[in-house]
Structure 1
């Protein structure tokens, strides 16, 4: 099992056992480090682990230098997930707006699913990723509120919304980071309120997102 799939499995092994297994690229089987890149498989909607050379095959051409190995035209199956984290301190979302989203937890993420041609909003739960009941049109309006999220690339980046004690906060994060949170909740949640271990893991995950996030260039300046 790959590292990311362990995150998404309810019966994941202890961390020490998990780290003992050598990670492998799921495209070429090359050994890869514990911290590695991921792709979105647009056919199966899975998130395969990738070595750097395989990952670069699926980075858009305008984001990398041209090389001898190119993805064949019309054969796009995979999309490279960037490591981009962006804080959106000026994202327009009040407490009243949050209530209107009707999300039963304090965290949700929304991304554009290119296969469906519309946004999909999910939130972590003990059963895994649970889809929001709001219609896609409502989430499209949320994404359109900010110039950064209005042009969010499909499948690979998500708008993360968190309602903390100081009010809502918003970030753009890679989708694999969001699914790591889903895996943490599914694996660690105990009882009705989750338990101390689950909430400590969630808080640690949020702290890492904040640490990795910056402010988008050009946003808020004019």
Structure 2
């Protein structure tokens, strides 16, 4: 994981003396970038470099909105900023149980290198891959017209089993890996501890705040 996301994965030891903060830089042109910045997916080595806005725009299709840019056209694909809530996504509690995800959060995206969906969920050791066949996750994505056309590598379907029932969102892939980093950084003991769950709940609140709602009367229920 590159510098922009690495800060979520490791807790640095307190310095003996207060040193000036080292600014983050774009990994393509070395320009200084703010703490909240864009990312690219490097399709050659499956990394996620930090990018300044101009470099990010270089790899965003000029013919389509950023969220629909074709991820396979270049070595780098721009990770969009869009967050979309899918309140009519067909996923019942029984469906969730059948997916056999051991935690309440999971995300699935299409990996262009493999040519198939990959489903992951956060764990204290990092991102853990679902053991269900990719065909199962392909059927999950096909349940909604929006996720059926999900661009590879850069956007993911986020599934959350909340106390009020399952939630579904389409979010940028870097946001998903930020969650993975938060869990790895804060998890303590068997149940994670209050600090971890506070971080997860804060992350979820941010996803909800950033999300626009998309309702499709044509959503499939197969």
Q: TM-score, normalised by structure 2?
A: 0.89
Residue from 155, 160, 164 that aligns with 1:157: 155
On the 8 A contact 1:189/1:198 being kept in 2, the answer is yes
Q: Give 2:10's aligned residue.
A: 10
Q: CA deviation at 1:165?
A: 0.4
Residue from 100, 120, 123 that aligns with 2:121: 123
CA offset digits 1:14-40 (Å, max 9, x no partner): 7xx899220100001010111111000
Distance 1:108 1:28 in 2: 34
Q: Give 1:39's aligned residue.
A: 40
Is 1:63 the counterpart of 2:79 in the alignment?
A: no
State the SS of the aligned residue for 2:120. Answer: strand
Q: CA deviation at 1:4?
A: 1.3
On the 8 A contact 1:12/1:187 being kept in 2, the answer is no
Q: Give 1:71's aligned residue.
A: none
Distance 1:128 1:195 in 2: 17
Is 1:23 the counterpart of 2:44 in the alignment?
A: no
Residue from 193, 210, 216 that aligns with 1:219: 216
- Output the aligned Cα RMSD: 2.2
Misfit runs of 4+, over 2 Å: 9-14, 17-21, 218-222
Distance 1:148 1:50 in 2: 27
State the SS of the aligned residue for 1:63. Answer: coil
Q: TM-score, normalised by structure 1?
A: 0.89
On the 8 A contact 2:144/2:218 being kept in 1, the answer is no
Assess, with a 3 A threshold, how the Cα gap between structure 1 residues 18 and 56 changes in structure 2: closer, same or farther.
farther
Mark the runs of 5 or more structure 1 residues left unpaired by the alignment: 66-73
Assess, with a 3 A threshold, how the Cα gap between structure 1 residues 19 and 165 changes in structure 2: closer, same or farther.
farther
State the SS of the aligned residue for 2:122. Answer: strand
State the SS of the aligned residue for 1:139. Answer: helix
Superposed counterparts of 1:141-152, under 5 Å: 141-152=139-150
For these two proteins, the number of residue pairs brought into alignment is 210
Q: CA deviation at 1:5?
A: 2.1
